Structure 1
């Protein structure tokens, strides 16, 4: 069991076929912290309004988080755009999970981080919501195609490859949007008098300095399978759980290759 001062997780999208709940459940079993931040889009209310999809693994993730909270872990939930209904309960607690519009997290070394999902500073969400819904639909289509493609890659012995991540990093407009979002978050963080920001929303894990402000994005659990951790000395790190499980499989092949393969197959099958 790895023990950290803080875990930052966002963009899980429980309630959708694309959610990699099996991998997140493994991550929560082998990693613990004094504080866990759930930074938006944990449950995908947009998709659940259209059709109900809730396999047992998605329920297991929530039960695991509730269990950690009961055992004394400080769990703070900051809703995002896909679970925006939770914002009306800001200031309340459910099952010892505290709900906040946003929060300020003080690292072990004293730096102050503003914690927010990030959608409120996305121009598309604020001024062209219909375009956000269209983008969400197109993203779902890409994920379906990607799942079939990766099922074939898995059977041929190749690792997971993300089509949507490739498109994000290759298409000029997408790269420009990500850069603008990051810069805007950094400027707003400085205006608030904080040393840095932790957000999600754009599904791109990153820790970097932007004009003297620490910008942190913990990624997602749809494709990149990433979280951010704070060590007890205040050091921050992005954890790529798919790479860790693959590395562990090399050390204990007969046990762990089977485990990783089964998890990937279960995730792909539950998505159909």
Structure 2
């Protein structure tokens, strides 16, 4: 293992295995070099929404899931925080519906359930105190209350990816920023941290990677593996870094 990759904890989200735009090969390269005590998969790792009407599961996506299982079997604690795109992991009833639709979902669900599947987790960091880890769809009123619109957006994004990737990236970013502002995403995060006395909140969902020190809490966002190819790492000394792995060498975006 590369000594530069010996972390206390690593956080990734919004991989969207099963979705056309997933950069599975980039993620596999990252995971293949990874050495950490804890690995947090912060939701939307598997995109069941995208596969419901059009099953898509190439070998590169299976390799990523197999690698995650290998990391777990090597002794790393792997936590799977459920997201809205992998909501069959939140409900056995929903899982059974997917399996009834296509038996191939069972193999994927069975492997995902070998991890520690939870809706949220409280991480006791060395330097920043209690940090809530949650996917983040809970703060998005569009996803929570107008599910069909969110799913339609995913279909439209996939079409745009096939036609023009740079354009789809710009539109996706603009849409996410607009929805976040309209749904008071950050305000809802702040209220929860204040109410539950969390020092920080780490999530995904928005696909907008960030580490931001606010006056009364720290906001972490892991980004995604469709465009940004980002991860947040917690080093052995307790420091946090947000890095992009889209290029041959990792690029530091921010640190705390």
Smaller-chain TM-score bracket: 0.7 to 0.9
Select the residue among 191, 200, 203 that pairs with 1:199: 203
List per-residue Cα deviations over 1:189-231 (Å, max 9, x = no partner): 2212110011001111000023421000000001111111111
Distance in 2, Cα, partners of 1:25 & 1:116: 23
1:74 aligns with 2:77: yes
How far the C-alpha of 1:232 sits from its partner, in A, is 1.1
Structure 1 unaligned segments of length 5 or more: list them.
Answer: 148-161, 248-272
2:100 corresponding residue in structure 1:
none
**Distance of 2:112 and 2:153 partners within structure 1:** 32
**Residues 232, 244 of structure 1: CA spacing in aligned structure 2 closer, same or farther, 3 A cutoff?**
farther
CA distance in 1: counterparts of 2:225 and 2:112, whole angstroms: 23
Alignment of 1:1-272 (within 5 A): 1=2, 2-88=5-91, 96-109=114-127, 111-147=129-165, 162-167=166-171, 171=174, 174-179=176-181, 180-245=184-249
Residues paired across the two proteins, number: 229
**TM-score of the pair, normalised by structure 1:** 0.78
Q: Is the CA contact (8 Å cut-off) linking 1:183 and 1:210 kept in structure 2?
A: no
Superposition deviation, residue 174 in structure 1: 4.7
Q: Structure 2 CA distance, aligned partners of 1:167 and 1:94?
A: 31
- Checking the alignment, whether the CA contact within 8 Å between 1:186 and 1:210 is kept in structure 2 is no
Measured in 1, the distance between the counterparts of 2:209 and 2:167 equals 16
TM-score, with normalisation over the residues of structure 2?
0.82
Distance in 1 (CA, whole Å) between partners of 2:189 and 2:49 is 24
The RMSD of aligned alpha carbons is: 2.2
Gaps of 5+ in 2: 93-109, 252-256
